Amino acid sequence: MSSKRQLQKESTRKKIIETAYLVYSEQGFNATTATIAKEAGLSHGAIFVHFPSLDELMTCLIEEFGATLTLELHSLVETNKSMEELLRIYLEVLIKHEKFYSRLITERSRLPEEVRMTLANLQSLIAHHFNNVIEREIDKQTVKKIPVHMIFNTWMGLTHYYLLNKDLFSPDTPVLERYREDIISTFLELIKR
């Protein structure tokens, strides 16, 4: 295959992934591949040239989403960040992807197992960053001596609660952006020594 065709193939693949991200963000994971093809300006068949099955498309999409998030978090979380800085960075990254992330957590049980695993791995990675910071702050006696997993789960529970009930908390505007300061300051108040 000529390199020009190779490049074109790559760019079509990228276009499909980007369009799928937008379509699923807006319509949820029930959206059809026909819709994605139409939005991407491609024939329906073109999608299956790149992704033989719907599961494959979803898995690739979540993996790329995970890789993006990993990189964004990792590049921002320098060593020696404080708990507050970590929470800010985490919400900053999530705010950028709020719609898509909300779909993932609300529709999780209906996603293929492979996709659910990829999502769980992404959350483990976030837990990894939290663990580094929490352990250091507990050592410095700036954070209460609560088991790391309970601090992490309390934070996840809090942010997910707002995301899952967005229609009640903020029907018209992104919910995390609106409540960011409340969420961060309250959580810090709860765990600080």
Partner 1 sequence: MKVCIACGMPMKEVAEYAGGDTSKDYCIYCARPDGSMQSFEEKKAGMIDFIVRTQGFDEKAAAQLAESNMKKLPAWKECFE
Binding footprint of partner 1 on the chain (CB under 8 A): 70-71, 74-75, 79, 114, 117-118, 120-121, 123-124, 127-128, 130-131, 147-150, 152-153
8 A C-beta contact, residue 126 and residue 151: no
d(CA 43, CA 55): 19
Nearest distance from residue 114's CB to partner 1, in Å?
8
Nearer to partner 1, 37 or 93 (CB): 93
User: Which runs of E-coded beta strand occur in 88-189?
Assistant: none
CB of 65 to partner 1, least distance (A): 14
Is residue 99 within 8 Å of residue 25, measured between CB atoms? yes
Measured over the CA atoms of residue 40, residue 45, residue 49 and residue 53, the dihedral's sign is: positive
Q: Which is closer to partner 1, CB of 8 or CB of 153?
A: 153
State in angstroms the smallest separation of the CB of 146 from partner 1.
Answer: 12
Query: C-alpha distances in angstroms, 72 versus 54, 65, 91?
Result: 27, 11, 12
- Give dist(CA 82, CA 138) in Å, integer: 11
Q: At what angle do helices 98-106 and 83-96 cross, to 10 degrees?
A: 90
Nearest distance, CB of residue 76 and partner 1, angstroms: 11
CB nearer partner 1, residue 42 or residue 148: 148
Closest CB to partner 1 among 30 and 124? Answer: 124
As measured in angstroms, the least distance from the Cβ of 93 to partner 1 is 15
Q: How far apart are CA 49 and CA 28, in angstroms?
A: 23
Q: Among residues 21 and 130, whose Cβ is nearest to partner 1? A: 130
